[in-house]
Amino acid sequence: MLQILRKSFTTGVVTTSYLATPLEVSSHTRGKPAIDWANWKDARPAAAICPTGAIAHEDRGSQRVAGLDLAKCIFCGLCAEADKTIRMTQVRECAAVGREDLRTSASYSLRPDGTHDHMVSPPSIAKHLPDGFPPSQHASLEALGRQLKERVHKIFGRSLHIREVDAGSCNGCEIEIVNLNSPVYDVERFGIHFVASPRHADLLLVTGTVTRNMELALKKTYDATPEPRLVVAVGACGCSGGIFGVNYATRGPVDAVIPVDLYIPGCPPHPVTILDGLLRLLGRGETK
């Protein structure tokens, strides 16, 4: 016991506090990819190397529609290695309340060799956050947490109770979810608690491509959660089926089995991405 106390005093406070300082992100981590749409000369190399089809194109006569689907992206960085027009950022705030909000595409006219001549239509723009929300990438983690706590109190009373459901995950997302409860992030200080039973939950946090063996269990868990209930699909597998898709053993993304209110992409998503996503979802619930 004395050794534990000595270690605690030596280590000091490790909980993040970004009220007055910007969020620190390791230079070794990858956020979502960014495409220089105006100068994108050929979508084929990136589309050919993408393991999940997150970058894809469709040729229609003399035009090509090329796009990026963040729900499928595993942030591997292979596209950036194959195409200098694409770069990996450190942007973590990429959750969306609609599946379509994770898709971005643009149209190009084609040259005879199949490369892009010029842009015909600019990239589609994702929907804005509900009114009254500041852009989350400019907010500190502490500020996000305080806003989240206020909205939790308005919507669910005194706190938000989450039941995490592993529907077929590799456990990468689970590691990041556990980090939310670590001393570094300490998500409970914002009024968020994880519970053991869906009957005590306000929100289901579902990870993994839904396996056929877990399909019925997921449906029963959803039915056992009292209304108003929310569902969050976490990770590329939960959002789109990831590298597994639909096959003899899997049903695909979470929304193929139960309704989804929020999509949090990543492989796995950073704890800050999950926190930012919860803020967006609760903001949507408040404006309904």
> With 90 as the cut, is the pLDDT of residue 17 above it?
no
Domain span at 61: 33-91+102-121
The residue behind tokens 């969020």 is 23
53 assigned to some structural domain: yes
User: Which domain CATH number covers 68?
Assistant: 3.30.70
Query: Could you tell me if 145 and 203 lie in one domain?
Result: yes
Q: 3-class SS at 39?
A: helix
152 assigned to some structural domain: yes
Instruction: Give tens-digit pLDDT for 150-181.
Output: 666 666 665 789 999 999 999 999 999 999 88
Question: Phi/psi of residue 242, each to 5°?
Answer: 60, -140
| pLDDT for residue 91 | 83
Query: Could you tell me if 182 and 243 lie in one domain?
Result: yes
Query: Could you tell me if 113 and 209 lie in one domain?
Result: no
- Of all helices (H) and strands (E), which one includes residue 261? none
> pLDDT confidence of 256, banded at 50, 70, 90?
very high
Query: Could you tell me if 275 and 171 lie in one domain?
Result: yes
77 assigned to some structural domain: yes
What is the total count of domains within the chain?
2
Query: Could you tell me if 214 and 166 lie in one domain?
Result: yes
Higher pLDDT: 17 or 34? It is: 34
In angstroms, the CA 269 to CA 216 distance is 26
168 assigned to some structural domain: yes
17 assigned to some structural domain: no
In angstroms, the CA 283 to CA 133 distance is 8
Nearest to 93 by CA among 239, 267, 277, 234: 277
Query: Could you tell me if 69 and 155 lie in one domain?
Result: no
Instruction: Give tens-digit pLDDT for 44-78.
Output: 999 999 999 999 999 988 999 999 999 999 999 99
215 assigned to some structural domain: yes
Phi-psi region of 180 (alpha: psi -120 to 50; beta: other; left: phi over 0): alpha
Sign of CA dihedral 69, 71, 75, 78: negative
Q: What is the number of helices (H) and of strands (E) in the chain? A: 8, 13
Mean pLDDT (the chain, rounded): 84
55 assigned to some structural domain: yes
Query: Could you tell me if 170 and 50 lie in one domain?
Result: no
Instruction: Give tens-digit pLDDT for 109-155.
Output: 999 999 999 999 888 765 433 333 334 444 455 566 666 666 666 66
163 assigned to some structural domain: yes
Query: Could you tell me if 265 and 148 lie in one domain?
Result: yes
User: Which domain CATH number covers 278?
Assistant: 3.40.50.12280
Query: Could you tell me if 141 and 270 lie in one domain?
Result: yes
What is the residue type of 120?
V
Query: Could you tell me if 155 and 236 lie in one domain?
Result: yes
Query: Could you tell me if 116 and 141 lie in one domain?
Result: no
Tell me, what DSSP letter sits at residue 25? Answer: -
Tell me, what DSSP letter sits at residue 214? Answer: H
| pLDDT for residue 12 | 64
What tokens were used for 259?
A: 């309704």
Is the Cβ–Cβ distance between 142 and 17 less than 8 Å?
yes
| pLDDT for residue 10 | 76
In angstroms, the CA 110 to CA 93 distance is 33
Query: Could you tell me if 52 and 141 lie in one domain?
Result: no
What tokens were used for 288?
A: 């309904």
Percent of the chain clearing pLDDT 70 (strictly above): 79
Tell me, what DSSP letter sits at residue 126? Answer: P
Nearest to 68 by CA among 97, 32, 119, 114: 32
- Lowest mean pLDDT of 13-22, 112-121, 277-286, name the range: 13-22
| Coarse DSSP helix, strand, coil percentages of the chain, rounded to the nearest 5 percent | 35, 20, 45
